[in-house]
Each structure stands twice: as structure tokens, then as C-alpha cells.
Structure 1
Amino acid sequence: MKIAVDAMGGDLAPQAIVEGVIQAASELPSEARIVLIGRENIILDIFKQNNFTPVNIDIVHAEDVIEMGEHPTKALSQKPNSSIGIGFRLLKEKEVDIFCSAGNTGAMHVGALFSIKAIEGVLRPAIAGFVPQVGGGHSIMLDIGANADCKPEVLSQFGEIGSLFAQHTFQIDNPRVALMNIGEEEQKGSLTAQATYPLLKANKKINFIGNIEGKDLFNDKADVIVTDGFTGNILFKLGESLYDIMKKRGIQDDFIDQTNYESIGGSPIIGVNGNVMIAHGVSSPLAIRNMIGWAYKQVKSKAYQHIAQALN
């Protein structure tokens, strides 16, 4: 297994990225190798600073960098030799099994659609977030930012592909799928939510349990939470803020610690023909280390292959 990591993407790159890779390298099973993509001389300098000798890490040189504020489509076309561009080329050619980056989120999403493309039958690939639950474990929420506006048919499909992802990633036999709404009653919500509910209810391939509200986000009510990218992004970042507030107040709690973005480190793009994980732009070494651990789990789950088989 080869896990590709963009060394140059992120506000704290390359230092934080490479240091996170160093931490992860000693924890990975022997079958896994990390492919670090970026400016080789800089990567080697950081290895030297940390007195680190790579054993299970390969370096692929990439001279260019897509900056955080660049236009995704233009940057990808103008910088094919960027770390993101090369990462997607390696993924498309199946030289690596997953590509991870804390860089330009738009470039990562567009790069996935242009290179490995959406799975046939998927209307809109989604960025999914792992939401900690008070009883332990995580729910998967999609979308959390790729599709701010969604038609009912798209939201309904999120329920199906999210269910498959949860089933194979979390080993849940019959994942509970819920629609995020402003009330539990079937007729509640926006016109889009009202039109989505019957589509989810009629889908015999999923275990739809109805609407949930914002207060249920962490309460073990659902394994898959369906929402548009606008609402999902707000909820997800609101959840992340709990850790920062508690830390500033000097309060430590095991559950609140799980809302820290570093605890997972990355979010998968679900619905594309390959494994892609996007990390927070301000990712620390700890976040990168944890992202690589989850990347390993994602490859082992073969979730995207199961989604493709189910839709075809």
C-alpha cells in the first residue's frame, strides 16, 4: 500500500506536513509506504533537522506549489508539476492507493473530478466529515463543503453512498441514515428537505430513520447524516470550535477532545474513483499523523470500489 502525501500544501507546510509524516511513519503497518510529494531538498532538510532516516518513505520531487488562494481550475492547468498535480497523476495511474493534502481544497476537489473522475452514476461527489459520538465511534456527515446547494436527488444519493461508506469503513451492518432538518416531523424544513425526505424513505437500499435536529449531531442517533455542503460545513466547524473554547477555559474532556480537528486529521471525498483525503489548511504534525492513520483505514476498507459496484 502506498499513501501519497502533499508535502507543500497547507498554511504550515512543508514543516508541519513533513514532521507529521515522520511521526506516522513509525506507526504504519509494514505493508504501507508513504510517498511524500514536494520539493526534495526542503523535505530532506526537514528530515535532517529531526535526525530522521526514512525507511518506509519515498520522495517524489514536485517543483511547483498551488497556493491556498489560487483559482483551482486555473492552477491545476497552469501547474501540472505542482505537488497536487503530481499527486493526482500518481493516483490516476494507480502508482499510489490514496492521495492526501492539506492544500487548496478547491484544487483537491477539482483535481479529483478531472483525474480519477466521479464514479459512474454519482451525481455529485461529496466531502464527508467524521462526527464523534458521545457513545464512542463516529458518524459520517455529507456533504460538509463541496456542494453548497443540493437538489433532493443529490441529497438522497448522499444517503446511499454515505451508507455504503459507513458500512465498509466502520463495519456497520445496517447503518442508520438521517436527514438533518429543523424538526423531526416529515413535513418540516425547507422545500428541498421536504422533497428529499420521501426519496430517502422510499430507498430500500438504506436504513432511513427520518429527520434529526442539530441537537442530535453527537447523540448516537445516526451513523450517516445527510445535509447540503452549506449546512454541513457550518455544523462541522461549530463542532470543531468546542475544543478551542474548552481549551481556553482550561477544561479537559475526553469527548470534547474528539471534536478537535487534529483527532481525525482529514475528510474523504466520497463518490470518486479512488481514495482522496483533504486535511485542514492549518494542519499540525499531529493532524497529519492522524490523517495518515485514517488514510490507511480508508484504503483497507475498499469503500469506493463497493460504492461503484453498488451503483453499477
Structure 2
Amino acid sequence: MKIAVDAMGGDFAPEAIVEGVVMAASELPSNVSIVLIGRQSVVEPLLLKQGGNHAGQIELVDASEVIDMGEHPTKALSQKPNSSIGVGFKLLKEKAVDAFCSAGNTGAMHVGALFSIKSIEGVLRPCIAGFVPQITGGHAVMLDIGANADCKPEMLAQFGEIGSLYAQYTFGIDRPRVALMNIGSEEQKGSLIAQAAHQLLKDNNRINFIGNMEGNEFFAGKADVIVADGFTGNALFKLGESFYTMASKRNISDEFLDKTNYESVGGSPILGVNGNVIIAHGVSSPLAIKNMVGLAIRQVEANAYVKIAQAMS
């Protein structure tokens, strides 16, 4: 198994990325290696400083260009084919690697996935999934958390099915509980779009739909899959992440709040595409990068995108 990591993506790249990759390499199973993509003249000295390639478990692939965080995704990908993101998706498309991870330009990662490995046939809109810690243990899969700010009811209903399949195969949950984020528990609550999505989810006998959930149930362990449009999902997800930051600033130590720290999982997968793509925070630390590699390994082992493709066909 090969996990590709963009060495040049992120606010603290390449130093934080290289350090995180080396941390991950020290714990890798023998059948897993990391392909680090970036400017060789810059990355190689950092890798040597961190102790080298860890008995051949880190391979360096040169990429002469970098897509900056503020660049237009589509233009940047077309104008910079030798960027670390461009090269990463080329390797993923050719199946030279099993997953591609980056803390770089989120838009470029999303567009790159759509242009290279493409959407799974039957998927209306690929989405980004986040992992919400639950007080009962584990995480709920929340989708979408930012790729699709405006969603039709059919898209929300499909997010429920995609999330259910992902939770089933990645986390081993039999019949994951699917809930729709709304402003009330009753069926008739919410916008016209939410009401229509509720009916579609309710009518889908392939999922275990348990109805609406409200914001005060976000961490309560009510659902294994939380469905939301990208605008709502992103706002809620980032609010949840802020709890750890606020607790740290106030010198509060709490086991559950520690799980809201973005570093604990390290990344968010793009679901609904023909491959394993993980996006990390732009501010990712070495620990976040290490955990992102772990998430990528778990996702490859689950083969979730293939299961989703089979269900959508």
C-alpha cells in the first residue's frame, strides 16, 4: 500500500508535513509506504534532517510547482501540471498510489479529484466528510462540511446513503443510524428543502434513517451519520473544533474536548469519487499529518469508495 502526501500544501509546509510524515513512518505497518511529493531540492534536506527515509518507507517524488492557498483551483491545476497536487492526482489516477493526502488548496484538491479520478457514476455531487466525536464513544460521519453550500433534496438524500456506506465499511458499524440536521425533530420542521430531503431519506429502505436531529444533539451519540448541506455542515463542524481551542486558552483539560481538536483525526475524505482523497487543515501540525496518514490507511483497507460505487451502479 502506498499513501501519497503533498509536501508543499499547508500554511507550515514543507517543514510540518515532512515532520508529520516521518512521525507516521516510524509506526507504519511493513506493507505500507509513503510517497512524499514536492520540490526535491527543498524537501530532501528536510527529510535527511528528520532522519532519512526510514528504511525505504518514504519515497520522494519531485514536483517543481506549487499551488498556493489563494489561487483559483481550476486555473492553477491547468497552468501548473507539475504542481505537487497535480502530480499527486496523476499518481492516483494511474493507481501508482492508493490514496492522496494534502493540507493544501482545498478547492484544488476537490477540482483535481473531479478532473482526474472523477465522480462515481450515479453520484450527484461528491462531498467532504468530517468526523464528529460522540460522548458515547467513536465518531459520527458528517457530510457535507463545505464542498456544496447549496444542496437540492436529492443531494442531501444521497449524502445519507454515501455516509451510511462509508460508516459501515470504514468503521464497521452494522446499519449506521442516519439523521438529518434540522431546526426541530418533527418531520414538518425546517426549510422546504429539508422537508423534502426528510421524505426521501425516510423512503430509502437501504439506510437506517432515524429522522431529524438538532444542534444540541451534535455530540450526543444519537446518529452515526449526520446529513447537512455544506454551508450548515461547515459552520457546525468548525464551531465544534473551536471548543478545544477555547478550552486550551482557558487552561481546561477534558478528555472529550480533546477529541474536538482537529489534530485528533487529521483530515477529511472526499466521498463520491473513484479513489481515496484526504484533505487536511491548512494549519495542519505534524501530529495532524501523522493522523491523516493513519486515516488514509484505514480508508484504503476499508475499500469504501468501491463499495459506494457498487451501491450507486
Taking structure 2 as the reference length, the TM-score comes to 0.99
Verify the 8 A CA contact 2:181 2:227 in the aligned structure 1. Answer: yes
- Is 2:155 the counterpart of 1:154? yes
Q: What residue number does 2:212 align with?
A: 211
* 1:53 shift after superposition: 4.2
Q: What residue number does 1:225 align with?
A: 226
Could you tell me how far apart the structure 2 residues matched to 1:42 and 1:216 are? Answer: 46
Could you tell me how far apart the structure 2 residues matched to 1:272 and 1:53 are? Answer: 31
Could you tell me how far apart the structure 1 residues matched to 2:137 and 2:37 are? Answer: 35
Task: Summarize deviations over 1:44-84 as a string: whole Å, max 9, x none.
Answer: 11123223343201110000000000000000000000000
Could you tell me how far apart the structure 1 residues matched to 2:49 and 2:126 are? Answer: 40
Task: Summarize deviations over 1:197-241 as a string: whole Å, max 9, x none.
Answer: 100000000000000000111100000000000000000000000
Q: What residue number does 2:39 align with?
A: 39
- Is 2:16 the counterpart of 1:16? yes
Task: Summarize deviations over 1:72-97 as a string: whole Å, max 9, x none.
Answer: 00000000000000000000000000
Could you tell me how far apart the structure 2 residues matched to 1:52 and 1:243 are? Answer: 34
Could you tell me how far apart the structure 2 residues matched to 1:91 and 1:114 are? Answer: 12
Task: Summarize deviations over 1:234-278 as a string: whole Å, max 9, x none.
Answer: 000000000000001101111100000000010000000000000
Q: What residue number does 1:5 align with?
A: 5
Could you tell me how far apart the structure 2 residues matched to 1:213 and 1:182 are? Answer: 6
For residue 201 of structure 2, give the secondary structure of its aligned residue in structure 1: helix
* 1:191 shift after superposition: 1.1
Q: What residue number does 1:164 align with?
A: 165
Q: What residue number does 1:137 align with?
A: 138
Q: Give the letter aligned to residue 297 of structure 1.
A: R
Structure 1: gaps (5+ residues): none
Q: How does 1:48-87 map to 2 (within 5 A)?
A: 48-55=48-55, 56-87=57-88
Q: Give the letter aligned to residue 236 of structure 1.
A: F
Could you tell me how far apart the structure 2 residues matched to 1:182 and 1:234 are? Answer: 14
Structure 2: gaps (5+ residues): none
Q: Give the letter aligned to residue 79 of structure 2.
A: Q
Q: How does 1:268-307 map to 2 (within 5 A)?
A: 268-307=269-308
The count of aligned residue pairs is: 312
CA RMSD of aligned residues (A): 0.7
Could you tell me how far apart the structure 2 residues matched to 1:43 and 1:29 are? Answer: 24
The 10-residue stretch of structure 1 (44-53 or 162-171) with the greater mean CA deviation from structure 2: 44-53
Could you tell me how far apart the structure 2 residues matched to 1:276 and 1:301 are? Answer: 14
Q: Give the letter aligned to residue 310 of structure 1.
A: A
Could you tell me how far apart the structure 2 residues matched to 1:90 and 1:255 are? Answer: 38
Q: What residue number does 1:258 align with?
A: 259
* 1:40 shift after superposition: 1.1
Could you tell me how far apart the structure 2 residues matched to 1:17 and 1:288 are? Answer: 6
Runs (4+) off by over 6 Å: none
Q: What residue number does 1:103 align with?
A: 104
Could you tell me how far apart the structure 1 residues matched to 2:51 and 2:108 are? Answer: 33
Report the identity percentage.
72
* 1:149 shift after superposition: 0.2
Q: What residue number does 1:25 align with?
A: 25
For residue 225 of structure 1, give the secondary structure of its aligned residue in structure 2: strand
Q: What residue number does 1:199 align with?
A: 200
For residue 293 of structure 2, give the secondary structure of its aligned residue in structure 1: helix
Could you tell me how far apart the structure 2 residues matched to 1:28 and 1:112 are? Answer: 26
